[in-house]
Structure formats: structure tokens, C-alpha cells
Chain A
Amino acid sequence: MLVYIAKRIVFAIPVVFAVALVCFLLVHIAPGDPLISVLPPDASQALADQMRREYGFDRPLPVQFGIWLWNALHGNLGLSIASGRSVTEEVLRAVGNTLMLAVTASVIGFAFGLLFGILAGYYRDSWIDRLVTTISITGVSMPHYWLGMVLVIVFSVILGWLPAVGMGPGGWSWDWEHIQYLILPAITMSVIPMGIVSRTVRALVGDLLSQEFVLALRAKGLSEARVFQHVLKNAAPTAVAVMGLQLGYLLGGSILIETVFSWPGTGFLLNSAIFQRDLPLLQGTILVLALFFVVLNLIVDVAQAAIDPRIKRA
């Protein structure tokens, strides 16, 4: 197992390098002067050149990439152009908020997704199956940012039960005063993973139940609960992979929901970085989110191998 984990980590290194390169290039294909948002419009050429030197924008691109990568490896993602603060600090603060939202959303989404999927797969072609299929296709087709707006309309504007935007006063703590801010964004975010997980699990369970080993297990007189245990264990690796991927998508794709709910996470940061043309902040945020995704994929690989030893040999 340790060898397998080591192998996966070694395989991930070139991916991480390539991801860093893409993040770096992404910002340098951007048209216009990266300093345009901080320089006063009447700035002298001398001032512009000085600023360019300070941010290192005057060096050749490969050198800039080397310096940026070296600093990034040491946890230094440079200074935000708009605020002048350390990008690493800003991103880490925001990542915490996004993680909290994404993890809460996935707990909700995965719980319902698994429940619906297992029920629909077990009672295939029954009314439960049709209901679950309808729910999951609705969830997958729903523009979630619109669902967020509708939930705000219903629960904040009309009923006045829950707050519409923000994270509550002061710092975060797990009391009702703050948790009520988490409910709407988390539910909004959980709809897509719920749909996708229930769809996948339904297909998995349905397919497994029609396989011969299930027939053999039943033939030898195993109780239905024990048979089901076998089915679930066989469905687990794929289900884990789908859920890991979904958590990654939630982390990286939280920008739309964070915009709707003014949730101060990475999406919010990304939004302000884009519109203030704060390129170091944009670069840093994308890099951190992409690295999260790579690590998550790694964990999924290892978890799959831990559940199903056959995967290790492939």
C-alpha cells in the first residue's frame, strides 16, 4: 500500500508542475499592463518602470516563472496588487470559508444522493426509481446560481426566515446566529452533487444487482441484508471516486454561489481579483484551488485502492 501511495505521489509531481505552469501562463496571456489598475493614469514612465521592477514584471517570462515557482514552493505567492497584502494570507483565509461551505454542501448532497441512488437502484423501474430519476435530472439541469436566488426570494424576502447574504457578524462560530447564514448557500450548492451521486449510485447498484455473484449469494441462502452488503462494497470505489471529484468541483466552482450569497470565500476573492485585474491574486487563488483538486484526486486514488485491492494491480 505504501508503495502504491508513493507511486501516486510521484505521478502527481509532473501534474503539479504543469498546473503551476498553466496558472502562470494564464495570467501572462492576459492583455494589457498588469499594473494598469494601480498606476495613476498620469503616471510617469519612470514610476511605471520602477513599479515594474519591484513586481519583477521586467524580467523574461521563464525567469519570472522560475522565481514565482520557487517562491510558491516556499509558500510565498507574492503581493496582491490591489490591497498590497500577501496573496498567501488572503487565499488561506478565503479557502477556510470555501472549505466550510463546500464540505457542508457535500455532506448534504452525498447523504441524499447515496440514499436516493441506493433506493432507486434497488427498486429499479418502480415509482421510487422514477421519482429519484426526476429529482436527479432536475438537480443536474438546474442553474444553481438561479436556485440560490429563488431560495433567497422564498426564505429571505417572502418568509424572512433566513438571512440572504454574508456570513454573519464578527468571526465564525458554530452557533445558530452564524449557522443560519450557511444554510441557504449550502443547500444551493448541494443540489448538483446530490443529482450526480444519486444518478451514479443508481446505475451502479442496478448493474451490480443483475450480476451473477448476487444470484449466487442469494442461491446459497444469504439474507437480503448480507447480499446488499456485498453490493455496496462493490459499488464503493466508483462512488468514492465520484464523490471526491464532486467535492473538488464544489471547491473550484464555488464562485457562482459565493457571488449570489456574498460568501467571503475563494470565489469571492477570484471575482474581485478578476474585476480589479489583480493578477498575482488571480494566479495565487487559481493555483491553490487547482492544487486542492490534485491532492483530492490523489486521496481518491488511494482510497479506491484501499477499498478494492484489484485497483492497485491495474
Chain B
Amino acid sequence: MSVITQDIVQPGPATRTRGYWAGVLRRLVRDPVSVACAIVLLLIVLAAILAPWLGLHDPYQGSMIRRLRPIGTPGYPLGTDELGRDMLSRLVYGGRLTLYIGLLPVGLAFLIGTSLGIIAGYVGGLVNQAIMRTIDVFYAFPSVLLAVAISGALGAGIFNSLLSLTIVFIPPIVRVAESVTTSVRSLDFVDAARASGAGQLTIMRVHVLGNVLGPIFVYATSLISVCMILAAGLSFLGLGTKPPEPEWGLMLNTLRTAIYINPWVAALPGVMIFVVSICFNLLSDGLRSAMDVRS
């Protein structure tokens, strides 16, 4: 509240018409950009899940005589790759692995990071110091370097890239969770709950968790796009998925040799990564402003 334009806010009577999350959803649905992004993402996810029933070509079946056909070839609307495999089919199937290794690490990091951060923020003292100083060490590494270093040391493979990405995204989530929890813990209603005899667990569950999960969740959603780019990047370096598995980052890598023959087909997997990543970014921004009650 500013000093010059100060006005006295009278707290209204405590009425509970609709839940907070219902309001968030209502505001989100009113935002055309968010809705458009949600639809695009939904379509891509559905296509990836339903891929085997869409009547596509076999994504593994290549042919030496129809390699690197251009976009618009009859029967192969998006052309064929360097081994003569149908690009459309590989892009649709590629969504499965790409979305999986792009989303799961943020989900896992959200669970682990939130728990650690809330414990650090709520318990405080030595526990806080132990958790937060350990996190500081991981902050001393740029995130791409850390991801590449861990999966490089462990060797290529889907499990190792999932592991390295999860480790990369835990520290930032812990920091956010810790600072949100620390600020909520010192608010009056927590003191009031304690004064009225509520146990530690009740305070944690009812008063703290309900107030910190929202901000942490929004922060985590803003990490999804970074994780998608990084996950596909690891595969692009040859550290994630192994051929012949369809995955956008890996496809981009193997098609690099084709940029002199059929450049636009070679660029297609990157378009998919870009579209998914920008949609998650815009959706996350939309969610943030929908949750911001002040606006």
C-alpha cells in the first residue's frame, strides 16, 4: 500500500462463495493466449498418446530409395528423414519420449524440492542450514553444465538424463519453497493457529501447505519449457535417447547431416520443441497472472 495514495481497507465479512482454485481456472479460461496454448499442447499430447491408432507409417521402417524426400511428397506430407522414414510419423511418435523426459524431471523435482524446501523453511535452524548450504553448491554450476556433466559421467541413456535433469531442477525449487515457507511461517495466522493449540502437523498441513503450494507450483511450471529444451538438448548431444528411437532432440541431431540436401525437413523436429516450449511458457505466464489475486 503506497503512502501517498493510502486508503483504509475495511475487511469485508468472511464469506466463502467459490474456492480460490475455481477462481484461478475461471480467470485462466478467459485468457485467449492461455486457452490457445492449452489446446495446442493438448493436441500434441493426445497425438503422442494415440499415435499407434492414427494410421501413420511405421516410424522405424526406413527405405533406401525414398530418403530425404521434401515436405509435401504424396504419402509423406512432411517428407522423409535420412533413412527414408516418414517424418510425420516420427514427429508424432517422437512426442512420446520428448514430452516424457521433458516433463517427468520437473514433476519429480517439484515433489522432492517442495518437500525439502518446506522442511527447511518450517523447521529452520540447523536443518535449514544443512539443506540450503548443500543447495548452494549446486547453484555454483550453470544448469546446462551440471546436466551435461552428470549425464556425461553416467553415460548416455534415458534414465541417466532423467536423473541428471531432476538433480538440476531440485535446487531452484528448494530455494523458492524455502523462501515462501519462511515468509508464510511468520504470518499472524500461523501464530494464531499455534496459540489456539494446533499441533505442528496440523499447522503444516492446513496453514502452511495450502499457502505455499500455489506459488511453488507456478514456479515449477515456468521450468517446464527450460527442461524440454534441455532434455532435447541432451539427446541432441547424444546423451539421452539412443537411435533409432524417435525423439525430437535426437532427430535434430541425426538430421544435421541433411541440411545441405533437404534443409527444411531437417529443421522440423526443432519446430516441435519450440512450439511445445513456447506454449508451456505462455501457459505458465497465464497461470501466474490468473493466480495473482491483486490484478
Contact = CB atoms under 8 A, between A and B. Distances in A.
B142 A146 contact: no
B201 interface: no
A152 interface: yes
Contact of B282 (A15, A137, A248): A137
Contact of A143 (B138, B229, B237, B256): B229
Interface in A115-155: 137-138, 140-147, 149-150, 152-153
A276 B133 CA distance: 34
A30 B155 contact: yes
A50 B69 CA distance: 54
Given A145-B233, A145-B252, A149-B266, A256 B144 contact: yes
Interface stretch (B44-52, B88-96, B108-116, B272-280): B272-280
15 contacts: A29-B154, A140-B225, A141-B229, A146-B269, A149-B256, A153-B259, A255-B144, A259-B237, A270-B148, A275-B238, A286-B149, A290-B140, A290-B141, A293-B141, A297-B140
A18 B252 contact: no
Nearest to A142: B274
A47 interface: no
A54 interface: no
A255 B230 CA distance: 12
B137 A141 contact: no
For chain A, which range describes its interface: under 10, 10 to 19, 20 to 34, or 35 or more residues?
35 or more
A259 B239 CA distance: 13
B191 interface: no
B145 interface: yes
A137 B252 contact: no
A294 B142 CA distance: 10
Nearest to A31: B155
Contacts of A19: 137, 140-141
B141 A22 contact: yes
Nearest to B149: A286
A215 interface: yes
Interface of B: 2-4, 136-138, 140-145, 148-150, 152-155, 225, 229, 232-233, 236-239, 252, 256, 259-260, 263-264, 266-267, 269-271, 273-274, 277-278, 280-282, 285
Interface string A24-51: 0011011110000000000000000000
B148 A18 contact: no
A141 B277 contact: yes
Given A145-B233, A215-B4, A248-B142, A274 B266 contact: no
Contacts of A294: 140
Interface of A: 15, 18-19, 22-23, 26-27, 29-32, 137-138, 140-147, 149-150, 152-153, 157-158, 212, 215, 248-249, 251-253, 255-256, 259-260, 270-271, 273-275, 279, 282, 286, 289-290, 293-294, 297
A263 to B, nearest CB: 14
B152 A149 contact: no
A45 to B, nearest CB: 25
Nearest to A250: B142
B3 A143 contact: no
Contacts of A293: 140-142, 145
Nearest to B260: A157
A240 B140 CA distance: 18
Contact of A30 (B136, B154, B229, B273): B154
